[in-house]
Structure 1
Amino acid sequence: MSFTFIIGAAIAYLLGSIPSGLWIGQTFFQKDIREFGSGNLGSTNAFRVLGPKAGSIVLFFDVFKGSLATILAMTIFKQPSISPLWIASFAVIGHTFPLFASFKGGKAVATFAGMILAYQPLLLLYGLIIFLVLLAITR
């Protein structure tokens, strides 16, 4: 394991650890969203607890964390032997187990989507289409 990989993974983890749902809830609504709804820090719970405006902002930041980690991995930490997704996956781990929120985070769906969006946008589109078809079939 290279030093570059370790640094990239640490930066990605710290990016993923930024608890945007918690910070937006506490700053603008004086609510810890972990105490309401599903109890996690993800954008779905933010929509449920804080409403659509704040939920959309949390969703944006969650997607942005995954995208930024991927873009950094693809540009700064170029290593032919290591896929940028390996480094960026630490943002997903950081969102799920955030250092800045007592290791109690969200499901990291939006952060993972941001990671895929930055790496291969069509792959995200295909995944979304499959999700919507399966949702329509099973509902």
Structure 2
Amino acid sequence: MMKIVLILFLVYLLGSIPAGLWIGQIFYKKNLREYGSGNTGTTNTFRILGVKAGLATFTFDFFKGTLATLLPLFFQIDGVSPLLFGLAAVLGHTFPIFAGFKGGKAVATSAGVILGFSPLFFIYLIAIFASCLYLSSMISFASVTSAVIAILSVLLFPWLGLIFKSYDWIFTFIILGLASLILIRHLDNIKRIMKKEENLVPFGLNLTKQKPKQ
């Protein structure tokens, strides 16, 4: 039991590493909290620090979720769902002890958790995310839509026999929790989308005709 608690704590610490914040401070002499949305996650890092910093931040945030989910295999831990370790990493990313408990919006790390547990479900969701991103030109819209579809999918797919043969209730509840967390963290983005003022990426169709404030 102590081994499980210790690894859960270590995974939370791993999730708490604010890659974007530290990359900005060390290599660019910028505090992401003072620029753009003030968020320390991938999107704001791309926007403020550029492609290299954004990719580095995304890669780290994504794979810390995957690594956390796979740790029970490495340490031969039985009887505990690996998703609990992934959830600990997401909570660390969202409420990081190393950054005043103010972290990212949970998208990249949650995606990494899903890859570690169900690669096929991950491919399905990433296809939805990419399609929504191209159609809307908004990372926030793609993230919110993917979260909503993830909720519907884990509730319906096992019943329909798609991707999942039966219900894994731990997986279902954790996906519901992660998706809900993503939605809550994007409330400000949703408000801006409704006002047609959300920030855009430099590609895609922008079908909702957003006109972000300069």
Give TM-score, length-normalised by structure 2: 0.60
Q: Alpha-carbon deviation of 1:29?
A: 0.5
The residue correspondences of 1:85-124 to structure 2 (distance < 5 A) are 85-124=83-122
Structure 2 segments unaligned to the other structure (5+ residues): 142-206, 208-214
Q: Alpha-carbon deviation of 1:119?
A: 1.8
User: Match of 1:21?
Assistant: 20
Structure 1 segments unaligned to the other structure (5+ residues): none
The residue correspondences of 1:65-84 to structure 2 (distance < 5 A) are 65-76=64-75, 78-80=77-79, 82-84=80-82
**Amino acid across the alignment from 1:68:** L
Supply the distance in 1 between the matched residues of 2:85 and 2:31 (Cα, whole angstroms): 30
SS at match of 2:104: coil
Task: Check conservation: 1:19, 1:101, Cα contact below 8 A.
Answer: yes
Change (3 A) 1:61 1:102: same
Task: Check conservation: 1:17, 1:95, Cα contact below 8 A.
Answer: yes
User: Match of 1:6?
Assistant: 5
User: Match of 1:48?
Assistant: 47
Supply the distance in 2 between the matched residues of 1:46 and 1:16 (Cα, whole angstroms): 17
Supply the distance in 2 between the matched residues of 1:83 and 1:20 (Cα, whole angstroms): 27
Supply the distance in 2 between the matched residues of 1:64 and 1:84 (Cα, whole angstroms): 15
**Amino acid across the alignment from 1:119:** F
Aligned residues: 137
Give TM-score, length-normalised by structure 1: 0.89
Supply the distance in 1 between the matched residues of 2:117 and 2:70 (Cα, whole angstroms): 8
Q: Alpha-carbon deviation of 1:50?
A: 0.3
Aligned residues: percent identity?
52
Supply the distance in 1 between the matched residues of 2:11 and 2:121 (Cα, whole angstroms): 21
Q: Alpha-carbon deviation of 1:31?
A: 0.5
Q: Alpha-carbon deviation of 1:73?
A: 2.6
Change (3 A) 1:102 1:77: farther
> What is the Cα-based RMSD across aligned positions, in Å?
1.8
Of structures 1 and 2, the larger Rg is shown by: 2
Supply the distance in 2 between the matched residues of 1:17 and 1:87 (Cα, whole angstroms): 13
Q: Which has the higher contact order (CA 8 A, sep 6+)?
A: 1
Supply the distance in 1 between the matched residues of 2:118 and 2:47 (Cα, whole angstroms): 30
Compare the two structures and name the one with the higher helix fraction: 1
Q: Does 1:126 align with 2:91?
A: no
Task: Check conservation: 1:5, 1:87, Cα contact below 8 A.
Answer: no
